[in-house]
Amino acid sequence: MAEVKLENISKHYGEHRVIENLNITVKEGECFTFLGPSGCGKTVILRLIAGFERPTNGEIFIGSSLVSSAEQKIHLPPEERKIGVVFQDYAVWPHKTVYENVIYPLKIQRIDKNEAKQRTMQAITQVGLKGLEKRLPYQLSGGQQQRVALARALVSKPEIMLLDEPLNNLDAKLREEMRFEIKELQREIGVTILYVTHDQEVALAISDRIAIFDHTGHVRQIGAPREIYEKPADKYVFNFMGVSNFIPLEIKNGATIIEDSNIPVALQPPTGKKEALRMLAACRPFDIELTRENTGMKGEVKRVTFLGATMDYRINLGEKELRIQQDTQEALQNNLLFKEGEDCFLKFHNVAWFESQSVEMGVS
Amino acid sequence: MGMIQTGKNRKNLVFSKKVADLKKFGAAELVLILSIIVLVVVVAIPILLIFWNAFTTADGKFNIKDVIWILSKPETYQALLNSVTIALGVTMLSTILGVFFAWLVTRTDLPFKGAMKLLFIVPFMLPSFIGAMAWKILLSPRGGYINVFFKNLLGIDKPLFNIYGMAGIIIVETMYLFPFVFLQVSGALERMDPTLEESAQISGIDLFTITRKITFPLITPSIIAGALLVALYSLSHFGVPAILGTEVGIYNIPTLIYQKIYASAGSFEAIRTGTVLASILVISAAIIMYLQNLVLKKGRYQIIAGKSMRPMLLKLRGFKIPLLIFSILYIAVTVLLPTVTVFLVGALKTYGLPLKHKHMTLENFKYILFSWKMTKDAIKNSVVLSLGAAFVTMLVGTMISYVIVKMKVKGKFILEFLGMLPFSVPGTVIALGVILTWSGRFGVNLYNTAGIIFVAYIARYMAFALKSTSAALEQVHDSLEEASRSCGATHWQALKHIVLPLIKPGMVAAFFLIFLPALRELTTSVLLYGPTTRTIGVAIYALNEDGETVYAMALASIALVIIVLGEILIRKITSTKEGNG
């Protein structure tokens, strides 16, 4: 277990500034996720921490040790950083069996043979590959190869584990299973995990804290999963964490109306922000209720999609389109299923408010 | 552990910083510099010296007048013209043959297509100068076996065929070079997405129009690439023109260089002429390479698709059997006939006797293999030089490819540029270059030793090593090596445990790709050999020149056996490799 600290880290490739002045401290024993769209530089951060890349500026500490410093020209090579890395493409060595793959770090460290053997078998058992030790990687499924990579990273009991989109190439069911297992392993071993993904669901499920990056490589928010989901710092974070409706509003003569229209909306901006003339209301599809009683906000059902447990609607509110979901069962019971072309009324719950600079409204 | 304590221990930090600085100057930069030095010494300096010699006077002044004077001399002018004519003729004929046969084995219902495809690559195995000698034996105006046969049959005085001359050279070269086009084009036709043609067929277009308007344009880049390869090879080819041209006064650039250097025993003017001609070869080769890269880059994205294709096959109907017979006859005439000739003549008691069993003996082979020092030395020289050059070139090539493909070092672009050079340097040029470099100019004199042939082979075959090993390295994803590093392995350990085992097949392939052609090499060796350093190719050529045709053919037979065994071995190795993957 060790803390990881990035201080003023920048990474430039020629003119291209991937990361600029990044400051993050990952606590001991924490599962910390770097969440962002592809190309935002999150993998580069992992590679900087692992020592595969050198920062252009700034310093990286692992525990109390300075491992990278552009200013002092310090660069500890990857092999001396005591980290386990699980790569996006697994990087399981094709010419070694499962057993040979997993025991490799222990061989390099010249661990006593018997101990190495025992620890290897333990790691293989831990990831559920017992009985497959003698297989070569091409005889394994993608999920199994992923577990080999995981066992290999675990076996040397690293202080820090770096995982780069390790669940990307798995099917949905296996992904869910593996993300549970990673979380379990972390609890068991207490290793510090740095996890990179673009999948907000995985991030919410396994992280103690999440850092959200935008596509320019800037951190928008750092916080616990619920904090981020419930109190997103800005529109970007809100949008990234799930399907979102954004409604640009305008306060005119004390009444709230949809921007550049005369459609009134029964929404009250929070008191602190009343001074702002233009606001952005944001909510999830489930936070808008469809009802037949007049709420003052009338919409028209444009499209209905049956998704099993949920019903998915596209509703026109004035010229804007909103995405709304309801529980199929509940709607059936309350006679609230709407047909395409039908009129409906909207009721908002849990609205988040953001400053607005004429943001395009709509579904994202 | 080399971790650095912060705050608490300043001295430790300063010390460790020095260690880190030292490490920074370690492996990566060292390997880069080493790779650059190898390429500079082996390839760049010889080429530069050729240009230097061609374009400066004895006291080092720039000199274009002499260059023009040399080029305007009838003999050099004629040699240039001959080289271009031969290259053009061979390229055109090879392209027609290569495309036709490629189309036949990939896009028609010709029977035994798999076997036929292999047969069309067989001409590669027969060294073209040995083929030329066999054709000389068969078709020389005086005493050529076929000519004699027809003289007796038809009762005529004049020989029917004359293999000497431009036509003979072009035809014989084509026989052994067309597989370049065949391989490129059949590969492209196999990889071509059949839906491209099918969608045209669905639109109701007939097969002839489809072939003309869709298939042909799509494979044009491959045709051009193959044709340029033939042109590159033919332009600087020594063997065939030396055997079929020199005797009747026809020279191309390489044979003229050879003649100049040997006739004048290396006089300044001969070297000057040689370097001027060599410069032209280098420049044209560079242009050809550039064109080829351009064409291949453009063509790559157009046709390549996945596997398991079922292209439309043209039904040959009544032409099926005649075309099959034609193909088999073609191989029989171009490969089997010369090969059999080589073995039979090699077994003759005296040259000129009819090819009958009672005139045959195994004594020639025994004599060459076990008794005659000259041929024994030649075989030993060739084997040792090829093995050594193949081994060294493979290792150095792997190192250079590793830097180019995998490493992030400042100054890599220098190496990338130098790495292109070996691809565009013809054998004759290399020979001339190493003579200029290794004859004491820089304090090392290897002239007339095996060493000079050794460095020449390294330069000549570096391109093969680079191609094969860089392809292998490109398939080893960076993360495999990084995974090893993060497991605690040093750079060297990661190389040893992960990278080298994974690229081993590529390295083995590189070894054989160098060993086999080096074993039969003539173009370079013939300019470099000394009294005790003949190679197999040189020995065969010299024996033939001296009129010892029987022994030349006996030695050629032995060379062919070694080559075929080697080819079988390499096929075995590469196919088991594919089986595992």
CATH of domain B1-63+347-581: 1.10.3720.10
B84-343: CATH topology is MetI-like fold (1.10.3720)
Query: Token pair of A103, please?
Result: 């025991």
pLDDT recorded at residue B25: 53
- State the average pLDDT over residues A347-356: 83
Q: Does A153 touch chain B (CB under 8 A)?
A: yes
* Three-state secondary structure call for residue A61: strand
pLDDT recorded at residue B575: 67
Cβ distance of B502 and A109 shorter than 8 Å? no
Residue B308, pLDDT > 50, answer no
Cβ distance of A108 and B482 shorter than 8 Å? no
- State the average pLDDT over residues B2-16: 42
Residue B5, pLDDT > 70, answer no
**Sheet bearing A83-86, strands edge to edge:** A83-86, A160-164, A192-197, A31-35, A209-213, A219-223
> What are the residue ranges spanned by the domains of chain B?
1-63+347-581, 84-343
Confidence of residue B79 (pLDDT cuts 50, 70, 90): very high
B578 interaction partners in chain A (CB closer than 8 Å)? none
Residue B579, pLDDT > 60, answer no
Percent with pLDDT over 70 in chain B = 91
- Radius of gyration for the alpha carbons in chain A, expressed in angstroms and rounded: 25
Give the nearest partner residue to B2 out of A50, A72, A80, using CB atoms. Answer: A80
In terms of average pLDDT, the best of B59-73, B271-285, B380-394, B459-473 is B380-394
pLDDT digits (tens, 9 = 90+) for B515-533: 988 998 998 999 899 888 9
pLDDT recorded at residue A226: 92
Query: DSSP assignment, residue B335?
Result: I
Give the nearest partner residue to A52 out of B3, B8, B482, using CB atoms. Answer: B482
pLDDT digits (tens, 9 = 90+) for A190-221: 889 999 999 888 899 889 999 999 888 889 99
pLDDT recorded at residue A251: 78
Residue B432, pLDDT > 80, answer yes
pLDDT digits (tens, 9 = 90+) for B458-493: 999 998 888 888 888 988 888 999 999 999 998 889
Are B184 and B121 in contact by the 8 Å Cβ rule? The answer is: no
- State the average pLDDT over residues A8-14: 90
Task: Report the DSSP pairing between strands A31-35 and A192-197.
Answer: parallel
Query: DSSP assignment, residue B214?
Result: I
- State the average pLDDT over residues A227-237: 88
pLDDT recorded at residue B307: 44
Give the nearest partner residue to B6 out of A66, A73, A85, using CB atoms. Answer: A66
- State the average pLDDT over residues A102-115: 94
How does B423-461 read in b/e, with b if 16+ C-beta sit within 10 Å? bbbbbbbbbbbbbbbbeeeeeeebeeebbbbbbbbbbbb
- State the average pLDDT over residues B263-286: 82
List all residues of chain A from 39 to 58 with a beta carbon under 8 Å from chain B.
50-52
Nearest to B275 by CA among B35, B103, B53: B53
Residue B323, pLDDT > 50, answer yes
Residue A160, pLDDT > 80, answer yes
Residue B194, pLDDT > 80, answer no
pLDDT recorded at residue A361: 43
- State the average pLDDT over residues B335-352: 90
pLDDT recorded at residue B446: 84
pLDDT recorded at residue B99: 93
pLDDT digits (tens, 9 = 90+) for B20-31: 444 445 667 788
Residue A356, pLDDT > 80, answer no
Instruction: Report how far Cα B108 is from the mean position of its chain's Cα atoms.
Output: 30
Give how far A47 is from chain B: nearest CA, Å: 10
Amino acid identity, position B431: A
pLDDT digits (tens, 9 = 90+) for B125-147: 889 999 999 999 999 888 788 88
Confidence of residue B301 (pLDDT cuts 50, 70, 90): very low
pLDDT recorded at residue B440: 79
B27 interaction partners in chain A (CB closer than 8 Å)? none
CB pairs under 8 A between A and B: 101
Give how far B488 is from chain A: nearest CA, Å: 4
Nearest to B29 by CA among B499, B498, B491, B504: B491
A314 bridge partner residues: A303, A323
Cβ distance of A79 and B490 shorter than 8 Å? yes
Give the nearest partner residue to B502 out of A63, A79, A95, using CB atoms. Answer: A95
CA angle B291–B172–B153, rounded 5-degree value? 160
Residue B120, pLDDT > 80, answer yes
- State the average pLDDT over residues B313-336: 88
Cβ distance of B488 and A84 shorter than 8 Å? no
- Radius of gyration for the alpha carbons in chain B, expressed in angstroms and rounded: 27
Give how far A165 is from chain B: nearest CA, Å: 13
Nearest to A243 by CA among A307, A300, A291: A307
A52 interaction partners in chain B (CB closer than 8 Å)? 482, 485
A51 interaction partners in chain B (CB closer than 8 Å)? 485
Cβ distance of A85 and B486 shorter than 8 Å? yes
Residue A116, pLDDT > 60, answer yes
ipTM over 0.90: no
Within a 13 Å sphere around the CA of A200, how many CA atoms are in the beta-carbon half?
16
Query: DSSP assignment, residue B498?
Result: I
Residue B324, pLDDT > 50, answer yes
Query: Token pair of A352, please?
Result: 């988040």
pLDDT recorded at residue B11: 42
In a mutational test of the A interface, the residue from B18, B487, B500 whose CB has the highest number of chain A CBs within 10 Å is B487
Question: Which residues does B134 contact at the CB level (< 8 Å), separation at least 6?
Answer: B337, B338, B339, B341, B342, B345, B553
**How does the average pLDDT of chain B come out, rounded?**
84
Residue B576, pLDDT > 70, answer no
Task: Report the DSSP pairing between strands A278-283 and A352-355.
Answer: antiparallel
Residue B567, pLDDT > 90, answer no
Cβ distance of B482 and A85 shorter than 8 Å? yes
Q: Does A14 touch chain B (CB under 8 A)?
A: no
